[in-house]
Amino acid sequence: MRILLTGATGFIGSAFLKLALRRHHHVGALVRPESGGRIKIPNHERLCCFAGSLAEAPWGKIEGFRPEVCVHAAWVTEPKAYLESPENQRYLDWSKDFLGQACRRGVRRVIALGTCSEYQIGREILSEDQTPVAPVSTYARCKNELHQALEASAIQHRFSLCWARVFYPYGVGEHAERLCSSIITRLARGERVALQTPASTKDYIYIEDLATALLTVVEKEFAGTINLGTGVGVRVQQIAETIAEILDKPGLLEMPVETAVDPLGFVVGDATKLRSLGWQQSVKLQEGLARMVKYLTG
């Protein structure tokens, strides 16, 4: 398969790129010039890199690659800042234009990454077909607006659309300020870690499992909305205690007398659709965190 990939140097995009090449697909990766100099892109006979951006894509070279499908993973992802960043609106506008151009130039399938935070968050498992959409952050709102725009465009221009709502990826290569990496680094230095929301429960999926899920969606030619998560909720306290156990530093964890309120306190997806495509979770929490500890401290 010939895959046009955006966000190829990001946490999710780079994992997907490596797996797609191992599975013998041809990948055309859109890479911003500044990213290509900062992040190593693998040399591979089935990989073509296109220097450019969503706003300024080298369409002549992309058309020469003859992509069949576009996997759109590019977006603003800076920890903490991304939720309300003004960059979200720019990525929304750029994405609509880029994907519209791609489909007018021959791409017949689009797989775009959404977010689990598009859902109305409560205490129930989040279902693609039953849970209402109610985004509360700028990030989630812009993702949802892109979904709506692509659905309308897919009908008008007759291309297949998959909207893949990503839950909580973690693993080797994630940003240093993300939850797991931050706890590992601080405990490894002998610092105390105070848990503000220990009961907060999320659907954490190891990055390699997420890449496999995304490629499964591509290879199975799935159309519609699908959750990319494990279907299993994990508490922040469980993550911290597992890391402390691996590092043999349980005494450095501090539980709060009064816990802070997490507006996204229970975010766990229904993984039925994903599992029906043949996907299975390979890396459980203990193993995933052990890999991260080895990478960050070894």
- 185-202 pLDDT, tens per residue? 999 999 999 999 999 999
Residue 251, class by beta-carbon neighbours within 10 Å (0-12 exposed, 13-18 middle, 19+ buried)?
exposed
Give the number of domains in the chain: 2
Q: What is the CATH number for 87?
A: 3.40.50.720
On whether both 260 and 115 belong to a single domain, the answer is no
- Residue 246 sits in which domain range? 170-202+232-270+277-297
Q: What is the pLDDT of residue 197?
A: 94
On whether both 190 and 153 belong to a single domain, the answer is no
On whether both 126 and 239 belong to a single domain, the answer is no
Q: Is the pLDDT of residue 139 over 90?
A: yes
High-pLDDT (> 70) share of the chain, %: 98
On whether both 156 and 35 belong to a single domain, the answer is yes
On whether both 60 and 165 belong to a single domain, the answer is yes
High-pLDDT (> 90) share of the chain, %: 91
On whether both 148 and 24 belong to a single domain, the answer is yes
On whether both 91 and 157 belong to a single domain, the answer is yes
Beta-bridge mates of residue 161: 110
Q: What is the CATH number for 258?
A: 3.90.25.10
On whether both 148 and 252 belong to a single domain, the answer is no
- ∠ CA 86-132-130, nearest 5°, is 140
On whether both 158 and 249 belong to a single domain, the answer is no
Q: Count other Cβ atoms within 10 Å, centred on residue 265.
A: 16
Q: Find, among 147, 159, 155, the residue nearest to 105 by Cα.
A: 159
On whether both 9 and 113 belong to a single domain, the answer is yes
Distance CA 193, CA 252 (A): 6
Query: pTM for this structure?
Result: 0.96
- 243-297 pLDDT, tens per residue? 999 999 999 999 887 878 888 999 999 999 999 999 999 999 999 999 999 999 9
- Of the candidate ranges 29-33, 114-118, 161-165, 205-209, the one whose mean pLDDT is the lowest: 29-33
On whether both 101 and 119 belong to a single domain, the answer is yes
On whether both 121 and 178 belong to a single domain, the answer is no
Q: Is the pLDDT of residue 35 over 70?
A: no
